[in-house]
């Protein structure tokens, strides 16, 4: 299928999944990289308690919390840039 027809079918809400090779699909910027981090015992215990309260694994808590913080920081920086840009006008 040509790109133009693919885009048209997508824009019209058509089912394009038959045209995709889902086995080869990758999510942008979602590659995994293993890192080792040393935490103090008290922090591991706190993470385990929080994970237990949430009904998830320690690893899930460790993955989600930095992501939330990084997104909040990026959002804050973006709004600061927008305000600074508006102030210059």
Task: Copy the structure tokens of residue 75.
Answer: 């959002």
Query: Confidence class of residue 36 from pLDDT cuts 50, 70 and 90?
Result: very high
Query: By C-alpha distance, which of 31, 28, 27, 2 is closest to 16?
Result: 2
d(CA 59, CA 19): 36
Q: Which of 61, 77, 80, 74 is nearest to 29 (CA)?
A: 74
Contact between 58 and 48 (Cβ < 8 Å): yes
Please state whether the predicted TM-score (pTM) of the whole model is above 0.75: no
Work out the mean pLDDT of the chain and round it to a whole number. Answer: 88
């Amino acid at each position: 299928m040509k790109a133009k027809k693919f885009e048209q079918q997508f824009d019209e809400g058509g089912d394009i999944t038959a045209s995709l090779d889902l086995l080869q699909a990758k999510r942008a910027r979602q590659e995994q990289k293993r890192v080792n981090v040393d935490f103090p015992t008290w922090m591991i215990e706190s993470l385990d308690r929080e994970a237990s309260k949430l009904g998830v694994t320690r690893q899930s808590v460790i993955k989600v919390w930095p992501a939330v913080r990084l997104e909040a920081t990026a959002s804050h920086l973006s709004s600061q840039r927008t305000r600074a840009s508006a102030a210059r006008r």
